[in-house]
Amino acid sequence: MTLRNNDLTDTDLAVSDADPSLYNEDLAPLPASRRTWGWFAIFNVWSNDIQSLAGYTLAASLFITAGINGWFVFAAILLSGFIIKVLVDLSGRPSVKYGFPFPVLARASMGVRGAQFPAIVRAVVAIFWYGAQTYFASTAISLAINALLGRPGGAEFLGMDWVSWASYVLASALQVALFLGGIERIAGFLNIAGPAVYLVMIALLVAIWVQVGAELPQAVGTIFSRADVTGWAAFSAFAGVTGTMVAYFAAVVINFGDFARNVRTEKAMRFGNLTGLPISLALFTFLSVFITAGAYLLYQGGQGEPLTNPADIVGLVDNVPLTVLAAVTFLVATLGINVVANFIPPSYSLSNINPAKISFRKAGMITAVAGFIIGALWVAVISSIGLPKFVDTLGAVLAPLYGIIIADYYFVRKQRLNLHDLYSINPKGAYYFSGGWNRRALVAFGLAAVFSILAVWLPQLAQLSGFAWLFGAALGGIFHWVAMRKFVVQTSHHDR
């Protein structure tokens, strides 16, 4: 089989005689003539990822549970935005240069067969996130239906009544329909959804701020802070917030190449990352913490458990048209980014397992079914561990893989890849290693993953939990570099 090289420019590479078990049209290098994304498309990918109901809930949960001044929480989240920006600039550059998605890049470090391992790990993490985000999206539909029907209630199954189940099935169906529309339709969808969410959140904040009054900014800083959280405990809490937010984006960070391959230039990718991450994250966090604090004072009188889901907060406004409008807006935003961040990546990854038999769309249907099961268990089972720990755990699994892939591309390969060998099972190929698997990389992953996962769950390492993702990525990269330092990279005229 021959990879097409139509419309290739000096930044594109033709690959001939690709092995069918490593190639299909979706995994092939994307020629420059088919790259249509500018910086605004990348901006909207991040803005919508940030704007999801799960993103709001996480930011609000950290604001409430950190125990430090709310403005410090805001600063920690903003810092995480800059860290993520640097990380995705690194992971996106190879795909802008060569035009391939994440699973193909992983072949350079893990082996042409071994790349199935990080692809499967990434797919599993994405499916868990897909199910969780689908549940959060369904709460927006439930909000609208309950507002219109006056909360009919009824018997529950797995913690959800009939309205919740109907909403969950509808949210799942809408996401599949959006996925089947293709990447360009999804990008256009996000361009509309992003600004709409900000308009609704700003309107909600104004309505709350007018009623709470001038004391709201002070309340944001002090309402959930505790006097006993000082010194090292305060620093640890600050680091924990930063680390958890980095882990929240970990799934997209590692496979950012799936999106970057659609961008025309690296400069556009970098600018989209800058505007879509630190800047957009700062605005969304500002709105989230102010709305959470204001709603706690206004609707709950500063008593009880604070509401962290904006759909629940909107439900307290007692305005049916506003409730329905807000529900539709939050639904649109969450559906859009869930398809981009948690549907498309596992579809690429699952297709990579057997490209000849598993098409991109077939992989998408596998993702939809598995994610549906995960989301259905969210209320009754998964949510009991808490969203921050759920996020940290998934991030800890992915962290070493990111470190390995980045260290391999920048330090082992010196940013030069043999594109032909990435699609070849020739035993003499640069990425064949041992039967197609790089055992050095697998050992590096195992050693680093043990630490990053234990840092989340082992009480004795609790003070390091905020650093779990960063340490896991660093250790994975260092172990891989040490194991590969004597490895001689074979080059050819295909190398860049």
pLDDT-based confidence at residue 10 (cuts at 50, 70, 90): very low
pLDDT of residue 90: 96
pLDDT of residue 466: 66
Considering only residues 425 and 306, tell me which one the structure prediction assigns the higher pLDDT.
425
Instruction: Show the 3-state SS of the chain.
Output: CCCCCCCCCCCCCCCCCCCHHHCCCCCCCCCHHHCCECHHHHHHHHHHHHHCHHHHHHHHHHHHHCCCCHHHHHHHHHHHHHHHHHHHHHHHHHHHHHCCCHHHHHHHHHCCCCCHHHHHHHHHHHHHHHHHHHHHHHHHHHHHHHHHHCCCCCCCECCECHHHHHHHHHHHHHHHHHHHCCHHHHHHHHHHHHHHHHHHHHHHHHHHHHHHCCCHHHHHHHCCCCCCCCHHHHHHHHHHHHHHHHHHCHHHHHCCHHHHCCECCHHHHHHHHHHHHHHHHHHHHHHHHHHHHHHHHHHHCCCCCCCCCHHHHHHCCCCHHHHHHHHHHHHHHHHHHHHHHHCHHHHHHHHHHCCCCCCHHHHHHHHHHHHHHHHHCCCCCHHHHCHHHHHHHHHHHHHHHHHHHHHHHHHHCCCCCCHHHHCCCCCCCCCCCECCECHHHHHHHHHHHHHHHHHHHCHHHHHHHHHHHHHHHHHHHHHHHHHHCCCCCCCCCCCC
Tokens of 466: 């905020």
What does the pLDDT look like over 29-39, one tens digit per residue? 988 888 989 99
pLDDT of residue 492: 39
Torsion of CA 129, 130, 134, 136, to 10 degrees: 20
pLDDT of residue 45: 80
Mean pLDDT of the 349-376 span? 81
- 407 has pLDDT over 80: yes
pLDDT-based confidence at residue 477 (cuts at 50, 70, 90): very high
Q: Which residues pair with 434 in a beta bridge?
A: 437
Considering only residues 29 and 12, tell me which one the structure prediction assigns the higher pLDDT.
29
Mean pLDDT of the 47-56 span? 75
Question: For 3-17, 224-238, 262-276, 278-292, which range has the lowest pLDDT when averaged over its residues?
Answer: 3-17
Mean pLDDT of the 307-326 span? 73
Mean pLDDT of the 51-61 span? 78
Mean pLDDT of the 63-80 span? 88
Return the ∠ at Cα 316 (arms to 313 and 321), rounded to 5°: 100
The answer to whether residues 372 and 127 touch, using CB atoms and an 8 Å cutoff, is no
Average pLDDT, the chain: 81
pLDDT-based confidence at residue 116 (cuts at 50, 70, 90): confident
323 CB-contact burial (10 Å; exposed 0-12 / middle 13-18 / buried 19+): buried
Amino acid making up residue 316: L
pLDDT of residue 1: 38
Considering only residues 16 and 1, tell me which one the structure prediction assigns the higher pLDDT.
16
Amino acid making up residue 380: A
In sequence order, what are the residues at sequence separation of 6 or more whose Cβ sits closer than 8 angstroms to the Cβ of residue 82? Answer: 277, 278
pLDDT-based confidence at residue 360 (cuts at 50, 70, 90): confident
389/465 Cα distance (integer angstroms): 9
Mean pLDDT of the 453-459 span? 81
Question: For 70-79, 129-138, 374-383, which range has the lowest pLDDT when averaged over its residues?
Answer: 374-383
Tokens of 375: 């989301």
pLDDT of residue 401: 92
Mean pLDDT of the 395-421 span? 91
Considering only residues 195 and 289, tell me which one the structure prediction assigns the higher pLDDT.
289
pLDDT of residue 269: 96
pLDDT of residue 83: 93
Mean pLDDT of the 242-258 span? 84
What does the pLDDT look like over 89-112, one tens digit per residue? 999 999 999 999 888 999 999 999
Mean pLDDT of the 14-19 span? 62
- 5 has pLDDT over 60: no
Mean pLDDT of the 462-472 span? 75
Mean pLDDT of the 224-235 span? 78
Domains and CATH numbers, the chain: 37-386 (1.10.4160.10)
Considering only residues 385 and 237, tell me which one the structure prediction assigns the higher pLDDT.
237
Mean pLDDT of the 354-382 span? 80
The answer to whether residues 371 and 127 touch, using CB atoms and an 8 Å cutoff, is yes
In sequence order, what are the residues at sequence separation of 6 or more whose Cβ sits closer than 8 angstroms to the Cβ of residue 211? Answer: 294, 298
Q: Which of 19-23, 220-224, 226-230, 345-349 has the highest mean pLDDT?
A: 220-224
Percent of the chain with pLDDT over 90: 23
What does the pLDDT look like over 362-375, one tens digit per residue? 888 888 888 888 88
- 8 has pLDDT over 60: no
pLDDT of residue 267: 95
The answer to whether residues 171 and 332 touch, using CB atoms and an 8 Å cutoff, is no
Mean pLDDT of the 432-461 span? 88
308/292 Cα distance (integer angstroms): 7
What does the pLDDT look like over 251-274, one tens digit per residue? 788 889 988 999 999 999 999 999
The answer to whether residues 67 and 237 touch, using CB atoms and an 8 Å cutoff, is yes
- 130 has pLDDT over 70: yes
What does the pLDDT look like over 131-176, one tens digit per residue? 888 888 888 888 888 878 877 777 788 788 888 899 989 988 888 8
- 66 has pLDDT over 80: yes
